[in-house]
Every structure is written in structure tokens, then in C-alpha cells.
Structure 1
Amino acid sequence: MPEFQTLGQFIIEKQADFPYAKGELSRLLRDIGIAAKIVSREVNKAGLMNITGAAGTSNIQGEVQQKLDIYANEQFIAALRSGGECCIIASEENEHIIPINSLISKTAKYAVAIDPLDGSSNIDVNVPVGTIFSIYRRLSRAGSAVLGDVLQKGKEQVAAGYILYGSSTMLVYTTGKGVNGFTLDPAIGEFCLSHPGMQIPKQGSIYSVNEGNYVHFPQGVKQYIKYCQVNDDISNRPYSSRYIGSMVADIHRNLVKGGIFIYPGTAIAPHGKLRLVYECNPLALVIEQAGGRATNGTERILDLEVSKLHQRSPIFIGSAEMVLAAEAMLAEESLTLNRSYLD
């Protein structure tokens, strides 16, 4: 065993875990790693170059695009196009799917969904941001890929992960056999295995939620937040409130230390804000593979039907016991509402 193991070495070593693959998935993961290095380099120059701030355009979500949103989107699409292992790309920044029209891609086995730069509005204030990716096995026959290749349930993902651009750049991913984290060593330009076999604690002491929206939260969510804030020595409460505003950063911290991330439906946005395809499904797979739990409050995220490319979903994700406690309070709220209706 060498003193360190690069991402490329690790992927090749684990390739035997995929009897249906002939190296395509390994090459696809390496393509994502290459694009991540390029984006990391630009993120780290954000204070020195004219690449911060708004680009003057909006994406399909109606959100103002940052210059780095566009740059990251272009880099990941370019890497996936040139790699030849991907037949179709779905990006949070694009309204429609992006077919890869090349002779090689017509027989490519995989579809990729990606959020190129999660939390990009934080770039201007030097707060960590990230990339989220999801890989599915192609369903359509050879030729032009179709939307259905991406609109699969989250449990059908063959790989998923994220890249965190923070004090160091980390790539964390799963292929359904545990979670491993790699840190970019700028001296050699390689991602090196730094966090093997990552496991989220079953119980944590951190809750992450945008409490600025508290007045619009369902009663069950309000009840859980109050529960987190109450003194209780037995359960080590009150918990600490930590909300970064970059989902990747919040999820990564909770994965390492234990905690829950909540983005519920509200009176204004009953279906939540986060995208099921680009954010909820890939991060749910990572957290479940690390021993955690991810639901929309009542149903497992990975079991949800996907009907639209930019479909949204509430999410409760993190340490299993904390998510279960939040679900119990939501169920209690639902039961109370049903009783009131019957009365």
C-alpha cells in the first residue's frame, strides 16, 4: 500500500466492483475529476481575477447567474463531451438536456446530471461552494439519448458525489459501496485519498436550516427547531445552528461531524426549493451510503418519482436519528391536522 493513493489509482482498483462495466464508469469519474481541478483553480483565483459577481443573465430557475456559474458549467460540459463515456448531460444551468452528438457518445452507457456550482453567490465573500454530480446507466438504445435517461429514481444512480471548494478542494463520491473522500494536493495536481470509508454519526449536535424562512415553515418543522434549541443534558441539547448557504458545504460538515440539513416546503414554496435531480438525489445517495438518512419529510428521497428535469423537493438529510426525530414531528403535525379536519 503506497503512502497515498490518487483518485485515478483508487478508481482503477475498485473497477472490479462493477462486473457490468468495462472501464467506462472509471473514465467518466476521472473526467469529472479533471474538470473539478480546472474549476478549483479558477475559484481559488476569485479575488485576483475578474471572475466574481453577476454575469447579467438568469438560469432556468430564475436565479441570477454568477460568472463562475457559467464558467463551471462550460468546463464540466466540455469534459463530459470530450470523454466520450456520456450520452447526455442535464445541468441545473440549462433549461433542456444536452445531448452529446458524436459517434462515440451514440453508444455511451451513462447519463450525467450536474449542478456545476452550488452556492455560487457566496463566491464574492470567499465562502465555500461546490459541485454536485449524479450518474445513471443509460436506458435508451444506441443513438440519440432521451430525457428519460436522466429522469430516473435516485435509487437507480450508479454513482454520485460532490466537489467542495473550500480551505482545500475535496471530491467525495460513492458508487453504492461506501463513501470515500479525496483531497486535491496542489503540489502534484492530484486528488489523493484522505477520507476512506466515510461514515456519518448516527446522532449529531448541529442543525442546518435557513431560519429566515421560519414564519413560512410547517408547524412540524417549527416544532423540531424548537426541540433543537431546548436545554436537555441527556440528549446533549441545545444543538448548534450552522447554516452556510452552500448545500455542499453544509452537507459535508454534517457528514464529518454529524447533523441534519433541512430545506422544507413552505407556504410560499410547498414543493421546496432544491432540485431533486441535481441536488437531492445525488446527496441522498452519498449520505445513505455513509449510514445516514434522506427523506422529503415522509418518503425516502431515492424512491421519489421524477417527472420533470427541474423538479423540486423538500429535504431532511443527515444523521439518521436526527432525521427520524424530524419526521416524527412532521407525522404528528399531519395527524393533528387530520383530527381537526374530522372534528
Structure 2
Amino acid sequence: MKLILQAIEKSAIRIKNAIDVKDIGYSQEQNSSGETQLQLDIQSDLIIEEELSKIASVHTIASEEKELPMLLNENGHYHIAFDPLDGSSLVDVNLSVGSIFGIYDGELTASKMVASCYVVYGPRVELVFAHEGKVKLYLLQAGEFEYVKEIHLNEKGKIMAPGGTQQCWAPYHKAMIDAFFADGYRLRYSGGMVPDLHQILLKGGGLFSYPGASDKPEGKLRQLFEVFPFAFIFETAGGRAIDGANRVLEKETKHVHDTSPCFFGSNYEVSVVADVYGRN
């Protein structure tokens, strides 16, 4: 696991350097979700593939930018699913973006997840790694990631990051979000999954939601690359992650690009979600 984390760190430094160039134009390609790729998406994907291919224990990788998983080392046992540059469309307006990694032992399924990690490329480059019951924060300084602290969620927070197209929300979901705001919660939503969830984690709690809606009944966010890794991190930090009624990490994945509704947060907020969705 140490070698995998080091490969992620090397990838993050290279991706940060790639972000800091002038040309981040669109390519002529589309990813597996039908989105036009930035050159930066493709470059970030190749960087991570290159660094992970050097690790003998990595059997297979799956990327948000690739249609199918890729075998790297037949004798390896770890399967790593990653979103190489989540929120890349925010780069040109200089908002924070990130990379997300789910690390699975044996196969790409939630029950086999053993670690997860994400990197935030913002005013500072920070890395959060969840493994063996701890969530640790690292900061990039002078070309190396240095340990900062462990992350623990409070029982209740004050930040609300509601995703999705509001006119497509179910009435009970909108009523729930409105009730949180009426209770004094603050809106913090950039359109980037990584910075929004990072803020909730670092500020002690709150709720990130991306529900199933009329335009996307199964949600937008991908299970293996985005939903499961953050579910693992939030649970390890003392919070919860559900799809509305059920624990996210108990979901089955039938296809590498399956999506899921998701709600990540501290215990109080997710309990409210479970109650509302349980009644509807």
C-alpha cells in the first residue's frame, strides 16, 4: 500500500505541473460518459496509468476516461479505479479540482475496498488518504507530501452542498434541502465534487447530496471512481454515506461506469436524509 500511495503522490505532483500551463484546450475525444475531454483530462489519465504501472501489486486499473478496465500486472492483486481530474471544466476559471482513487483488493466491488484517496489542486495541494481505520491529511511542500493531521467528522455540521438540477429534484428532496437552509446551514457548492467534500471534511461536517432525479434517476456520479471512494473516507472519518435509504458501500456494481445517488455527511444530516427517503 505504501508504494501505491507513493505512486499517487508522484502522479499528483505531475498533474499539478500539467495544470499550471496555459493551454488546457478541448480535445476531439469523448470519455465513457459522453463528455468532451480536455487535453488535461487525457494527460492526467496517462500520468496516473504510467505511475501505477510501475507497481507490481497493481493488477488492474479502471479510469473514468477509459471505457474498460486495463490489466497492468497479472501477478498483482490490487484493482484501482480513479477519476484522474474530477471537475476539470473548472480549471479555466481557476477553481479547485481533484483526483479520486478507490483501491480494491481482488476485484472492483465495494465490499473489496481497502483504501481510498483524493487530491485537491487548489491554492495548496492536499492529499487525503483513508486506510486501516484512519483518514490522514497531507500537504505538498517543497516537492513532498508532509503529514498534517487525522480527520474526524463532528456529529453535526453546518455546510450544505446540494448537487443536481434543482427543477429535476423530487418535491420531498427539495423540501428537505430547504429545511436544512432554514435551520441555518450555509451553501457551499462549487460544482467540483472533490473541493466540496473536502470542505465538509475539513470543517467538521455537513451534507453533500447528489440525488436520483427526473433527468438522472440513478444519479450522475460513478460508483467505482467517485461514490465508493468518498463513502469509504466519510465512514472512516466517523460519518455516513447512503444512496437515500441504503449504505452506499453495500451496493453492487454491474458495470464499471455504473452511477448511484449519494449522500455524504456527518451522522445527523445523513440520518435526516435516511428518514426523509424512508418515508418517500
| 8 A Cα contact 1:201 1:255, kept in partner | no
| Superimposed CA distance per residue, residues 212-270 of structure 1 (whole angstroms, 9 cap, x where no aligned partner) | x112112221111110122xxxxxx2211111111010000000112100000001110
- Do structure 1's residue 69 and structure 2's residue 25 form an aligned pair? no
Structure 1 runs of 4+ off > 3 angstroms? Answer: none
- Do structure 1's residue 27 and structure 2's residue 3 form an aligned pair? yes
Partner of 2:197: 251
Aligned length: 279
| CA distance, structure 2, for counterparts of residue 155 and residue 177 of structure 1 | 15
| 8 A Cα contact 2:168 2:215, kept in partner | yes
| CA distance, structure 1, for counterparts of residue 127 and residue 27 of structure 2 | 27
Matches within 5 A, 1:116-265: 116-138=84-106, 149-150=107-108, 152=109, 154-185=110-141, 187=142, 189-194=143-148, 196-210=149-163, 213-230=165-182, 237-257=183-203, 258-265=205-212
Partner of 2:62: 90
Shift of 1:322: 0.7
| CA distance, structure 2, for counterparts of residue 318 and residue 217 of structure 1 | 19
SS of alignment partner, residue 106 of structure 1? coil
- The structure number with the bigger radius of gyration is 1
Partner of 2:26: 54
| Superimposed CA distance per residue, residues 253-299 of structure 1 (whole angstroms, 9 cap, x where no aligned partner) | 00011210000000111000000110000010001000111000011
Match of 2:244 among 281, 297, 302: 297
Could you tell which deviates more after superposition, 197-206 or 261-270? 197-206
Partner of 2:274: 327
Considering fraction of residues, name the structure with more strand.
2
SS of alignment partner, residue 285 of structure 1? helix
| Superimposed CA distance per residue, residues 135-168 of structure 1 (whole angstroms, 9 cap, x where no aligned partner) | 1112xxxxxxxxxx22x1x242111010110111
The TM-score, its normalising length taken from structure 1, stands at 0.79
| CA distance, structure 1, for counterparts of residue 257 and residue 89 of structure 2 | 20
The runs of 5 or more residues in structure 1 that have no matched partner are: 1-24, 139-148, 231-236, 335-343
SS of alignment partner, residue 117 of structure 2? strand
Shift of 1:210: 3.3
| CA distance, structure 2, for counterparts of residue 31 and residue 327 of structure 1 | 37
| 8 A Cα contact 1:91 1:97, kept in partner | yes
Report the aligned-residue RMSD.
Answer: 1.2
Shift of 1:109: 2.0
| CA distance, structure 1, for counterparts of residue 132 and residue 192 of structure 2 | 24
| 8 A Cα contact 2:56 2:75, kept in partner | no
Match of 1:312 among 249, 254, 259: 259
| CA distance, structure 1, for counterparts of residue 223 and residue 173 of structure 2 | 20
| Superimposed CA distance per residue, residues 83-123 of structure 1 (whole angstroms, 9 cap, x where no aligned partner) | 222111000100011111xxxx2211211111100000000
- Do structure 1's residue 108 and structure 2's residue 64 form an aligned pair? no
SS of alignment partner, residue 107 of structure 1? coil
| 8 A Cα contact 2:163 2:211, kept in partner | no
Q: What amino acid sits opposite 2:96 in the alignment?
A: P
| CA distance, structure 2, for counterparts of residue 164 and residue 224 of structure 1 | 29
The runs of 5 or more residues in structure 2 that have no matched partner are: none
Partner of 1:21: none
Considering fraction of residues, name the structure with more helix.
1
| CA distance, structure 1, for counterparts of residue 71 and residue 59 of structure 2 | 6
The TM-score, its normalising length taken from structure 2, stands at 0.96
Identity among equivalent positions (%) equals 34
| 8 A Cα contact 1:174 1:286, kept in partner | yes
| CA distance, structure 2, for counterparts of residue 117 and residue 202 of structure 1 | 30
Q: What amino acid sits opposite 1:218 in the alignment?
A: A
Partner of 2:213: 266
